[in-house]
Amino acid sequence: MSTSVFRELPGLSEAWTVTRGANAVVAVVDEAVDVHDHPEFVGRVLRGNDEARQTAGDGSYIHRPHGAKVAGIALANGPHVTGVAPEAQLLPVAVNALSHIIGHPSEADAIRWAAAHGADVICCAWAPPDLTGKRGRLPSRTRAALDYSIEFGRGGKGCVIIFSAGNVGRDIRLNGYASHPGVITVGACNCHGTHPSYSGYGEALWCVFPSNDPGDHVGAWMTYLTTAPVGSLLNGDAYYTTRFGFTSAACAGIAGICALIVSANPNLTAHEVKQVLRSSCEKIDASSGTYDARGHSPLYGYGRPDVVRAVHLATQHEKVQTASV
The catalytic residue positions are 30, 66, 248
DSSP state at residue 293: T
Residue 89 β-bridge partners: 25
Those residues with Cβ within 8 angstroms of residue 149's Cβ, 6 or more apart along the chain or in another chain? 111, 112, 114, 115, 119, 122, 158, 159, 161
- Decide: 89 and 41 in contact? Cβ < 8 Å: no
Measured between alpha carbons, how far is 194 from 35 in angstroms, rounded to an integer? Answer: 33
Identity of the amino acid at 46 = L
In contact, 180 and 143? CB cutoff 8 Å = yes
Phi, psi of 160 (to 5 degrees): -90, 115
Question: Phi and psi (nearest 5°) for 76?
Answer: -65, 155
Other Cβ atoms less than 10 A from the Cβ of 299: the count is: 21
Confirm if 257 and 84 have CB atoms less than 8 A apart: yes
